[in-house]
Structure 1
Amino acid sequence: MLAVVGAVIVLCGFGGCVAALSSDDSDDTTSTTTVTAPVPGEPSPAAEPPKSDIAPAGSAVRDGKFEFVVTAVDAPVKTVGDNPYLQKTAQGEYILVHINVTNISDQPQTYFADNQKLIDSQGRKFGNDTMAAINVNPETSIGSPINPGNTLPVTIAFDVPPGTVPAALELHDSMFSGGAKVSLQ
């Protein structure tokens, strides 16, 4: 009975959060667009090239309370793990990405490999395979607290189709953060 009451309370709380986040308190229902035409005889301002939101390979990138540095990308493998009873075989092949995660805040912060995404050359996103990650770094694959100023080396395992070309990594402080992208090429 207590479980049912608890579930109802959790659902009501979740529904209230969703309603609060999706409500629009704005009374402004009109919009204005201003267009400025160039003055004849004056040079038009040079258009700035679009800035990439992907940092160059090897760069430190920050998202939330973490700084990330990609240290290596391994060649694809079919199976991970040293223990023959716990080995994990990929549906396709595993791409293992090694990163250093540094807590740049003044509070302990928990790192989750499941928040990280691999982006291939076709723009497809791939998530971490937790069971494979456990085989390559059992202490840091599920959720690892990192104290302020400390750095944790981790390996993320992505199960991708054979022949996938990794292009970038999207790194997140949490599942709700905007993320930071770094090139893998």
Structure 2
Amino acid sequence: MVTTPMGPPYHGPPAPPTPPKKRHTGLIVALSVLGAFVLLCGGIGIAVVSSLSHTGSSNDAGSAGKPGVRDTHTTTSAHVGTPARDGSFEFVVKKVHCGVSRIGSTYLGKTAQGQYCVVTMTVRNIKSDPQTFDSSNQYAYDRAGHRLGADTEGDLYLENGNSAFLNDINPGNTATGDIAFDIPKTAGIARFELHDSPFSAGVTVTNP
């Protein structure tokens, strides 16, 4: 019996080499183009909004002086003897009496550092809720433009207890009171700045 010699086992032809992984070059390019497009659109949108904003500002400025167009930036003002409104209150400054050296009696009162200007006014509540009038929220301006606060301590010594220092006013009611301003002897009051509360915009009342 003839024995055929055995060779090494046969495993078939060698496997082809693994192809290199494809880089997603096309996807990267597409994303880059899309990102650039988004940025471009955003820039155009910002430019358009900015242009419209400037156009609106220009139109507002131009309309301020045109007849029939309301100027909402104008500060409300009035004169002594005419009504002026701020928030819940309508003010009417009735009288301004300056040159007062002392408020109260000889034994119970206060002497002015300069001179007292005693201001008589009426305050009407024009809203639907009670509101407290506080003289410490009211200011006067002298001829030089200095802002002057009310002398709330001096208010307590005003004659006939007519102080407007603190006064609760119900809707529809009107209160009359005096406020004392201690100003320099050589000064005079040019205008008042009246408020219904510490944080209101205030209204100007000029004093001739």
TM-score calculated relative to the size of structure 2: 0.63
CA drift of 1:123 comes to 1.3
Q: CA offsets, 1:31-88, max 9 Å, x none?
A: 542487xxxxxxx99956996643233210011101100000113211111x322210
How far apart in 2 are the matches of 1:33 and 1:109? 41
Q: Which runs of 5+ in 2 are unaligned?
A: 1-45
SS in 2 for 1:76: strand
Please say if 1:149 is aligned against 2:172: yes
Q: 1:55 maps to what in 2?
A: 78
Q: Which runs of 5+ in 1 are unaligned?
A: 1-27, 37-43
Which structure's CA Rg is the greater one? 2
Considering fraction of residues, name the structure with more helix. 2
Identity over the aligned pairs, expressed in percent?
40
Deviation at 1:139, TM superposition (A): 6.1
Where do residues 1-185 of structure 1 align in structure 2 (5 Å cutoff)?
A: 32-34=53-55, 47=65, 53-81=76-104, 83-136=105-158, 138=161, 140-185=163-208
TM-superposed CA distance for 1:107, in Å, is 1.6
**Alpha-carbon separation, structure 1, partners of 2:63 and 2:193:** 34
C-alpha separation in 2, matches of 1:114 and 1:135: 15
Change (3 A) 1:108 1:92: same
CA distance in 2, matches of 1:144, 1:54: 23
Q: Which runs of structure 1 show a deviation greater than 6 angstroms over 4 or more consecutive aligned residues?
A: none
Structure with bigger RCO (C-alpha 8 Å, 6+ apart): 1
Q: How many residues align?
A: 150
| Whole-angstrom CA distance in 2 between matches of 1:116 and 1:45 | 33
Helix, strand or coil at the partner of 1:131: helix
**Residue by residue, what CA displacement relative to the aligned partner does 1:66-115 show, whole Å, maximum 9, x if unpaired?**
1100000113211111x322210011111111000111111211110000
